[in-house]
Amino acid sequence: MTRHAEQRAVALTIAGSDSGGGAGIQADLKTFHAFGVFGTAAVTAVTAQNTCEVRSVGVVEPDLVTAQIAAVADDLSPSACKSGMLADETIIGAVAVGLEAAQIPHYVLDPVMASAGGSPLLEASAIGALKTRLFPLADLVTPNLDEAGILAGFDVRDHEGMLRAGEAILELGCRAVLIKGGHLESDEVEDLLVLPDRSRVWRAPKHPIGNAHGTGCTLSAAITAGLAVGRPLEEAIDRGLSYTRRAIETAPRLGRGSRPLNHWARD
């Protein structure tokens, strides 16, 4: 008699597809799998990209995005979800409708605005909708320095700026902000968690690999996986940062551009 596999936690990623496999939906699903979580997906956009460039983007119909979220939620009951590339205001609205109906317990919002190579992945006109429609639903928002600056309305280039930006972003309605400091002009990476009543810093040596492809997607997916299996937020972040650092350190030499991560890494 064949034994049934153990029950698995389920997580949902709402993001764009990366044909090169290093970021987006592909990175998220690989990361969920590495954490022993069953991954599901709602695709918001299809990109033609590789490690060097984003060549083309096609946005999914908004109603189909909402339908994907509903289909997963109605049957598989994810215990956590994340969003990445949302492309434009209509997709943001569709995701908001889907999440409000699905009532998934934990939501991590990675405010993806551009690719590692600088190609825009969110229309500038959609940033207001991102703030008003999705931030109030989010347990955690995970901007990099540039994204934190856009959201807060001022340049963010040091610890004090990160703290001020985190406090400003909290006022948009989310419950916590993790500002990723990988691009600080320092020998260290500094990641700053800002909560309503306190903050916490994680520091690690900066790896010489430089600008790795899919780092933000991988980190937010790892945190989402931790929340899906019931870890408290700070523990999920701690495990997610450890996994992402290891994935960078052991990144395979693939492609001619920003190196994709090693999603087989252990945290």
Question: For 203-241, how does the pLDDT look when each residue is reduced to its tens digit (9 = 90+)?
Answer: 988 876 656 889 999 999 999 999 999 999 999 999 999
Q: Where are the domains of the chain?
A: 10-137+210-249
Q: Record the tokens describing residue 209, joined without a space.
A: 């690999």
Residue 105: what are its φ and ψ, rounded to 5°? Answer: -60, -35
**Mapping DSSP to helix (H, G, I), strand (E, B) and coil, where does residue 72 land?**
helix
How do 54-59 and 38-49 pair as beta strands?
antiparallel
Confidence grade of residue 117 (pLDDT, cut at 50, 70, 90): low
Its pTM stands at: 0.95
Would you say 73 and 102 are in contact if contact means Cβ atoms under 8 Å apart? yes
- Give the pLDDT of residue 35: 97
Alpha helix segments (H runs only) across 38-154? 62-76, 89-102, 127-129, 145-152
Which of 239, 247, 265, 260 shows the shortest CA–CA distance to 23? Answer: 260
Would you say 84 and 111 are in contact if contact means Cβ atoms under 8 Å apart? no
- Give the pLDDT of residue 1: 41
At residue 133, what is the residue type?
Answer: R
Task: For domain 10-137+210-249, give the fold.
Answer: UDP-N-acetylmuramoyl-L-alanine:D-glutamate ligase (3.40.1190)
Question: For 121-144, how does the pLDDT look when each residue is reduced to its tens digit (9 = 90+)?
Answer: 788 889 999 999 999 999 999 999
**Mapping DSSP to helix (H, G, I), strand (E, B) and coil, where does residue 87 land?**
strand
CA 106, distance to chain mean position in Å, is 13
Would you say 90 and 44 are in contact if contact means Cβ atoms under 8 Å apart? no
* CA 207/CA 187 separation, integer angstroms: 9
Alpha carbon separation from 62 to 59, 142, 226, 263 (Å, rounded):
8, 24, 29, 30
Alpha carbon separation from 94 to 66, 98, 178 (Å, rounded):
5, 6, 25
Q: Record the tokens describing residue 84, joined without a space.
A: 């990445």
Q: Record the tokens describing residue 49, joined without a space.
A: 């990209």
